[in-house]
A and B are shown apart, each in its own frame.
Chain A
Amino acid sequence: MDFTRRETLALGAGAALMTVLPLRAYAATTDELIAEFTGGADIADTGIDFTAPEIAENGNTVPISVSAEGASAIMVLASGNPTPPVATFNFGPLAGSHSASTRIRLAGTQDVIAIAKLADGSFARASKTVKVTIGGCGG
């Protein structure tokens, strides 16, 4: 738990975000971004691997990695952030590996979504709920 006044205020703000917008507050934007990326095509739920922690150790720098065999592009969205687009990784025809890792900042508990455009032009999606918590009472 956090108890300095400064941290308390900061967490209060973060917590307010969590409470008010636990998930999909910007879902419309996220859906629009996905529709733009896929052109409205169907999206399969296999063909992409997406790794993120269940609970963030530090919401300001959350490690994620994505990979999809033969993908030409992978888009990552943080659905609950004020600005959901995180990154779109593009892979050229000579790319040896179709994977990427980075760290992202999360405003609160939310779904992080990855969508790959595969070699045959189809799309694959994976997502994970990443929890951002005050912590401090386990043991």
Chain B
Amino acid sequence: MISRRDFLQVSMAASALIGASGFGNWSRLAAQQRLTQDQLLNFDTFGNVSLIHVTDIHAQLKPIYFREPSVNIGVGRNRGEVPHVTGADFRRLYGIEDGSPSHYALSSGDFSSLAQAYGKVGGLDRVSTVINSIRADRPDALLLDGGDTWHGSYTCHHTQGQDMVNVMNGLKPDAMTFHWEFTLGADRVTELVEGLPFAALGQNIFDAEWDEPLPDLFPPYKFFERGGVKIAVIGQAFPYLPIANPRWMFPEFSFGIRDENMQAMVDEVRAQGAELVVALSHNGFDVDKKMASVVTGIDVILSGHTHDALPEPVLVGETIIVASGSNGKFVSRVDLDVRDGRMMGFRHKLIPIFSDVIEPDAAMTKLIDEQRAPFETQLKEVIGTTDELLYRRGNFNGTWDDLICNALISERDADIAMSPGVRWGPSLIPGDDITREDIWNVTSMSYGEAYRSEMTGEFIKVILEDVADNIFNPDPYYQQGGDMVRIGGMGYRIDVTKPQGERISEMTLLKTGEAIDPAKTYVVAGWASVNEGTEGPMIWDVVEDHIRKQGTVKLDPNTSVEVVNG
């Protein structure tokens, strides 16, 4: 008799075969300059349950470009493990041909030319077409949204998330969990959640005063009966909201990983007869891997937060972890065979949303355009053009943040600039116009004030060490899932393998070439401070002013961070 573990491994191999055949087809199609919707959606329906996962959409309603990172270093046990494999190494690992559509969709390298060839990705009207197609195969498929949905655009900011709520309601999700949504403020997030026609889940969303669950507003889990299977979906919100984002905006709420409570919830739903347990998680991939090794009884983790797109699930014990990318670029379909109260096998496909290939759902296009109509003039205004590929992802810098740091230094008359290491924000390719919408896509937030402050060299080091430990602490439970704070006007060396306090050295003020003096005071400009009462102009206005003066954006290559043991 085949053991459950063997079965999972067999299924994993089968899934890999399907994945490989899918990729192989795309490569051939690339050679033929042909890619069709049918091939992208082709899926041999399997088992008796289908899950559809979208996550980290960051309010991207329309197709965009999105360059995946070329630097994404893993530490400790995750060194060299996915998702910490990038570019050509990633393509070798998954057998992806250079220049193929999956090269373009899943990895960095030759991005600008491939973007010209394959076009933009995402668009929630295309995502709708994919979801409708899966529902045609399996009408009772569960659609699960991993959060970071109501944040990240001009229209989302100005409607306080209403545009995204309206459009997502059109997709009819079954459940959702949360992160940036809370930066709309406690009152607004509560108002929106109370009006949702689907479940808002978070086993780790607690009342801050009493450290107790909030089952009325954010229940820990919800049961669904699908394909004759009793399914429990448990929500896991971003654990470090009050630390990575401004606590003062939602002081009533407490989060944390709370894996002991996750175990209690898994045990509770199993005791109530759950045959399949799904965690809808905004932990980040490495945290989910660790949680899967600590908590027993979760069959599937749908993983969000760290924006990784993996063409195959990762297996930890008997739990599969699915990572579905960001910015509306991918939809994951996971078909499961659940029998005799257990998951016996799975079939998975990460579907890239090639916007020129997948037909938009006309009703959804209309709904999206209705949300944008009141703002159309402001969105479309051209501020400048770019000669550069503008992208954000990468552990230490990206060209968007190089541009933002340049804007902060010149517009705010600073020695040094700091830009937060967030992972959201689409890309632009050389020759593109830069519209106001594009600037907001990489800057919009509810605490966008660009401060100007004096800091000692010693304190700047403390900040860098602190942020570096949030990324490179060898224990994933101590990682917050962003990237390193981006620095303009200053260079440094980082040894990612050292403990906190010893990673950063060789801090140099670029304009003079002198070493940063711990005792000396420097003028630092930045944005996205978590402090209440931060003052300054909004970052999108600072960037807009800077780009207007430039006309055409040109950037010098950024060589200011030297990475040791990366």
Contact = CB atoms under 8 A, between A and B. Distances in A.
A55 B467 CA distance: 13
A133 B469 contact: yes
A139 B245 contact: yes
Contacts of A7: 531
Interface string B472-495: 010101101110110000000000
Interface stretch (B27-35, B219-227, B334-342, B522-530): B522-530
A122 interface: no
Contacts of A85: none
Interface residues of B, number: 56
Contact of A131 (B255, B257, B467, B478): B478
Nearest to A19: B501
A48 to B, nearest CB: 13
A93 interface: no
A31 interface: no
Given A54-B477, A57-B255, A139-B420, A3 B534 contact: yes
Interface string B423-464: 110000000000000000000000000010111101100110
Output the residue of B243, B247, B454, B470 with the most chain A CB within 10 A: B243
A15 B243 contact: no
B500 interface: yes
A112 to B, nearest CB: 14
Contact of A139 (B208, B255, B424, B531): B424
A83 to B, nearest CB: 24
Nearest to B485: A137
Given A4-B531, A136-B420, A22 B240 contact: no
B254 A4 contact: no
B530 A136 contact: yes
B211 interface: yes
Given A3-B451, A55-B240, A58-B247, A139 B500 contact: no
B240 A51 contact: no
Contacts of B179: 139
Contact of A1 (B260, B418, B422): B418
A19 B462 contact: yes
A139 B422 contact: yes
A46 B242 CA distance: 32
Interface in A102-121: 109
A135 interface: yes
B533 A137 contact: no
B24 interface: no
Nearest to A3: B453
Contacts of B499: 22
A138 interface: yes
B421 interface: yes
A115 B256 CA distance: 24
A135 B455 contact: no
B466 interface: yes
Nearest to B58: A139
Contacts of B455: 3, 8
A53 interface: yes
Contacts, number: 130
Nearest to B56: A139
Contacts of B531: 1-4, 7
B533 A139 contact: no
Interface in B239-294: 239-240, 242-245, 247, 254-257, 260
B180 interface: yes
Contact of A12 (B239, B422, B458, B475): B458
A131 to B, nearest CB: 6
Nearest to B210: A63
Nearest to B183: A139
Nearest to B445: A139
A4 B449 CA distance: 13
Given A53-B256, A139-B482, A2 B530 contact: yes
A134 interface: yes
Interface in A26-55: 51, 53-55
Given A137-B421, A137-B485, A139-B482, A3 B240 contact: no
Nearest to B476: A54
Given A55-B243, A137-B470, A3 B477 contact: no
B243 A135 contact: yes
Contacts of B480: 55, 135, 137-138
B530 A57 contact: no
Interface string A73-91: 0000000000000000000
A15 B245 contact: no
Contacts of B501: 18-19, 22
Contacts of B453: 3-5, 8
A15 B456 contact: no
Interface string B61-93: 000000000000000000000000000000000
A58 B459 contact: no
Contacts of B475: 54
Contacts of A12: 456, 458-459, 462
B256 A57 contact: yes
A136 B260 CA distance: 26
Interface in B371-400: none
Output the residue of B475, B477, B531, B534 with the most chain A CB within 10 A: B531
Contacts of B534: 3-4
A137 B257 contact: no
15 contacts: A1-B529, A8-B455, A8-B459, A51-B260, A54-B257, A57-B247, A57-B254, A133-B243, A135-B240, A135-B243, A135-B466, A136-B244, A138-B482, A139-B421, A139-B423
A-B residue pairs, 5 tightest by C-beta: A138-B244, A135-B243, A139-B422, A138-B480, A138-B482
Given A57-B254, A133-B470, A138-B422, 20 more contacts: A1-B418, A1-B485, A1-B529, A4-B453, A12-B456, A19-B465, A51-B260, A53-B256, A54-B257, A55-B243, A63-B211, A63-B254, A133-B243, A135-B243, A135-B480, A136-B529, A137-B467, A137-B482, A138-B482, A139-B420
Interface of B: 179-180, 208, 211, 239-240, 242-245, 247, 254-257, 260, 418, 420-424, 451, 453-456, 458-459, 462-463, 465-467, 469-470, 473, 475, 477-478, 480-482, 484-485, 499-501, 524, 526, 528-531, 533-534
